[in-house]
Amino acid sequence: EAAVTQSPRNKVAVTGGKVTLSCNQTNNHNNMYWYRQDTGHGLRLIHYSYGAGSTEKGDIPDGYKASRPSQENFSLILELATPSQTSVYFCASGDGRGGSAETLYFGSGTRLTVL
Amino acid sequence: GEKVEQHQSTLSVREGDSAVINCTYTDTASSYFPWYKQEAGKSLHFVIDIRSNVDRKQSQRLTVLLDKKAKRFSLHITATQPEDSAIYFCAASMSNYAQGLTFGLGTRVSVFP
């Protein structure tokens, strides 16, 4: 029933390795977002998307790529993972309609550890 | 850019009492202020928001107050219950869209019997 599903829930990666975090939403929302949550920094926006084929840089995009192949799917890609990317990553979809403020619907998060 | 500060990192409250979480922001252009809740081991979900055209909004036991002059907004939880225990994040934005949101660091609220 969960409308925003992330996989995997936990991931351990090695430095220099490639990591792909996946997100699927059944809300039929155009907008999707990737955040990371770190102690002392709160939630920070990495990449976002307005719809299939679109990706935009957020506030901290360095070291990350994003891919939105369809309305439902939005991936976050770490081509060369580093220990500083150890974090909890949240995907969200947004019901932005222009005329009113957007509400975010979050997935359960992925805990990534880069050794 | 915008900075949002949550003034309490933790807050303990006796069940049935009220809890107040305070946030300040820096950009006078911010006009939208949502609150999100994260229960232990779970994801975040929206709880309440306020726009800058009003100074108070209530939803059941939750009330948000906005003081634009002081650039301060607060979440008031009345008659607290154990299920109110969570981390609460305030946020501010100049736009309707989430890419403009700046989040605070969160306040962990613990409701004890």
What is the CA B90 to chain-centroid distance, rounded? 4
A109 CB neighbours in chain B (<8 A) are 43
Q: Would you call B45 an interface residue with chain A, using a CB distance cutoff of 8 Å?
A: yes
Q: Would you call B35 an interface residue with chain A, using a CB distance cutoff of 8 Å?
A: no
The average confidence (pLDDT) of chain A is: 94
Q: Contact at 8 Å (CB) between A60 and A5?
A: no
Beta strands in B1-113 (DSSP E): 4-6, 10-14, 19-25, 32-38, 44-51, 56-59, 62-67, 72-77, 86-92, 102-103, 107-112
Q: Would you call B33 an interface residue with chain A, using a CB distance cutoff of 8 Å?
A: no
Q: Which residue has 């301060």 as its token pair?
A: B72
Backbone angles phi, psi at B83, to 5 degrees: -70, -5
pLDDT at A2: 60
Is A99 a residue whose pLDDT tops 70? no
- Strand, helix or coil at B91? strand
**Tens-place pLDDT, residues A23-78:** 999 999 999 999 999 988 889 999 999 999 999 999 999 999 999 999 999 999 99
pLDDT in tens, chain B (113 residues): 889 999 999 999 999 999 999 999 999 999 999 999 999 988 899 999 999 999 999 999 999 999 999 999 999 999 999 999 999 999 999 887 888 899 999 999 999 99
Contacts of B58 (CB under 8 A, 6+ apart): B64
**Tens-place pLDDT, residues A4-34:** 999 999 999 999 999 999 999 999 999 999 9
- Strand, helix or coil at A66? strand
The whole-number average pLDDT for the span A90-114 is 89
